[in-house]
Amino acid sequence: MAFGVRKLSKACPKVRGACDRRVGRALQRPRVLGWAAAVLLAAPGPVCASPLFELIGAGFGEGGWNGRATSPSAASSYFNPALLPQADQGLELGWLVLNDSISIALDGRSPDADIGLGNVNTLRDRYPVPTVWLEEGCVAGGERLCLTDIPATPRQSRGSSGNTRLYQAVGFVNHILEGRWSLGVYAALPIGSLLQAHSFFSDEREQYFTNSLHAELYSDRLTPMSLAFGTGVRATDWLSLGLSVTLNLLNGARASTYVGDSAFLDETLLLSTEVDASIGVAPHFSVLLEPLERLSASLVVHTPQKFEITADSGTFLANGNSQRAKRTNVHSWLPWTIAAGLAFQLYREGAHTISVAGTGMFRRWSSYLNRQGERPLSGYEWADTFAGVVGARYGYAEQWSAFLDFAYEPTPVPLQTGRTNYVDNDRFGTSAGVSYTWPLDDSGVRLRLGAQAQFHFLRARHQGKLDPRATPTRPSLVVDEWPDGAEDFNGDRIPEAQGLNTNNPGWPGFESSGAIRAAMLTAGLLY
């Protein structure tokens, strides 16, 4: 980077010529000035893909995690719009609290893998910073050779779990043709910040930011507002069709900077920005078959969902050096999902009904795009998965209703024995809910109150890295960030660079486990 050039020349007078060469290289590569501004200004609108829906399930009625198979409600707008003609017309509100307690424990690391201060005097283009700068920080002008004060960021000191978040849920169903054609809306809005998007890296590049690992499929994926619009048509007494959409946002920011003096960036930086946003849709389709009075079968297809932030950053320096760079981040990516569900009424006697439901889901995680818009490395491709939900429903006199579901979702992430640190676990869950409906008058207007709770258990998983020195022919292993042949400014080999040296926060291994808990209260006016 081009900042701090004056101090750099003073920092090592014994090798002034080499320092001057280093200053020249810094002035020739001003690739990142203004980058932070571009990312901040590219913050997308609050509506995007729906990882939150997939985690909490149908928040209204008795859908739960079997909302693709049974229990029509406003939540069917996302999970199975073919059920909407059978849903109660009306407006419902919900209040959801969700806590993610995901523990990531890093294995102890030998000092032999550290990158030493000798790296500061290395002739190189792209080497990492000394490990001590990350673990203990650095005071400018001191013996640790940094140009400005650097705060300490020890490994896993800035993880992103352990959050309790509040959401407002909204559901609405309107029958255009009673029993034949209906529209629905299902939304979950975070209370407080409408969006948090964190484009962390899954490998050694994260050392420059949080120096920590993060839960790949949770974390900031649970923060944006989720919104689905659906419509369902009952073509015959036994066949219904549904179509819904969620919004894919494409956001861009162009930041141009002029730097009069790179040693005084705060005083001489001029910034000009352009921001734009466009909207696309991710369509979802469903079919509902009811061949028997007590039996229904559903097929639901969800297309991939995501939102993107593209930042185009340019820097013009007083020495005439002008450069631009573009980066695209992908957030809340969800794969093709194909789900098949069955619901069967086991018992009906008087005011009592008991039914069972099951849903099987195929998710095409093999096409996964991480937050940098990159696919997993060769040899560590993600796997397609099959997940399942089974449950039961109970109803009494069209007033009381309750449900209980059990779910299993295997992780698509292979063991992270190489360069990357995708953190994910097999997930087991149970969800339960109850609701009561009061008739308010003879016209059919009713008040429905409900409560739900769910618990997700993330099975513990330990992942140890392979030593690239022992398996040199295997691709995508941990990178030796300070190569053995590193030379100082005098052209002499640096002894401490021998062996594997890395600041990859996941080296030599890590373990993850935890739980996710959620509870929801709902109130609806049906008519």
Look at residue 416 and give its three-state secondary structure. coil
Q: Look at residue 289 and tell me whether its pLDDT is greater than 60.
A: yes
More confident call, 125 vs 204 = 204
CA distance 526 to 87: 10
Which SS3 state, helix, strand or coil, does residue 78 take? helix
SS (H, E, C) 340-405: EEEEEEEEEECCEEEEEEEEEEEECHHHCCCCCCCCCCCCCCCCCEEEEEEEEEEEECCCEEEEEE
Q: What gap in Å lies between CA 427 and CA 389, rounded to an integer? A: 12
Rounded Cα–Cα distance for residues 173 and 92 (Å): 9
Residue 316's identity, in one-letter code, is F
Shortest CA distance to 281 belongs to which of 309, 304, 311?
304
What would the mean pLDDT of 143-151 be, rounded to a whole number?
90
Mean pLDDT of the chain: 88
Whole-angstrom distance, CA of residue 243 vs CA of residue 46: 23
Q: What are phi and psi of 390, to 5 degrees?
A: -130, 150
DSSP code for 60: S
The pLDDT of residue 123 is 64
**What would the 3-class secondary structure string for 286-335 be?**
EEEEEEECCEEEEEEEECCEEEEEEEEEEEEECCCCEEEEEEEEEEEEEC
Judged against a pLDDT cut of 80, whether residue 419 lies above it is answered with yes
Q: Judging by DSSP bridges, how do beta strands 239-259 and 225-234 pair with one another?
A: antiparallel
What is each CA distance from 149 to 139, 391, 512, in whole angstroms? 5, 57, 33
What are the φ/ψ torsions at residue 235 (nearest 5 degrees)?
-70, -40
pLDDT, tens only, 85-135:
999 999 999 999 999 999 999 999 999 999 998 888 776 666 789 999 999
pLDDT at 397 over 60: yes
At residue 33, the pLDDT reads 32
The pLDDT of residue 181: 97
Cβ neighbors of 457 (< 8 A, separation 6 or more) are 427, 428, 429, 515
- Contact (CB, 8 A) for 6 and 263: yes
DSSP 176: E
pTM of structure? 0.86
pLDDT per residue as tens digits for the range 163-202: 999 999 999 999 999 999 999 999 999 998 767 788 999 9
The CATH architecture of the domain made up of 31-109+155-465+506-526 is Beta Barrel (2.40)
CA distance 342 to 357: 6
**Maximum Cα–Cα distance for the chain, whole Å?**
95
pLDDT higher than threshold 80 for residue 7: no
* Of 75, 30, 319, residue with least CA distance to 186: 75
Would you place residue 46 in the very low, low, confident or very high pLDDT band (cuts 50, 70, 90)?
very low
Q: What is the pLDDT of residue 441?
A: 82
Give CA angle at 218 (195, 135), nearest 5°: 90
Q: Which tens digits make up the pLDDT trace of 330-374? A: 999 999 999 999 999 999 999 999 999 999 999 999 999 999 999
∠ Cα 392 398 404 (to 5°) = 20
At residue 83, does pLDDT exceed 90? yes
pLDDT at 5 over 80: no
Separation of alpha carbons 76 and 244, rounded Å = 9
Q: Report the pLDDT value the prediction gives residue 125, as an integer from 0 to 100.
A: 61
More confident call, 496 vs 171: 171
Residue pLDDT, tens place only, 16-36: 333 333 333 333 333 333 333
Q: What pLDDT was estimated at residue 319?
A: 86
Give the pLDDT confidence of 442-476 residue by residue, as tens digits.
888 999 999 999 999 999 999 999 999 998 888 89
Helix (H, G, I), strand (E, B) or coil at 13: helix
Torsion 135-139-141-143 (CA) sign = negative
Query: Side chain identity at 382, as an amino acid letter?
Result: W
Residue 244 · residue 228 · CB < 8 Å: yes
Residues contacting residue 231 through CB under 8 Å, at least 6 positions apart: 81, 84, 181, 182, 183, 184, 242, 243, 244
* DSSP three-state, residue 69: coil
Q: How many angstroms separate the CA atoms of 332 and 11, rounded?
A: 44
- pLDDT higher for 400 or 311? 400
DSSP-derived 3-state class of residue 475: coil
Q: Supply the pLDDT for residue 280.
A: 79
Q: State which H helix or E strand residue 53 sits in.
A: helix 51-56
Q: What 3-state DSSP class applies to 159?
A: coil
> What would the pLDDT profile of 48-58 be if each residue is shown by its tens digit?
568 999 999 99
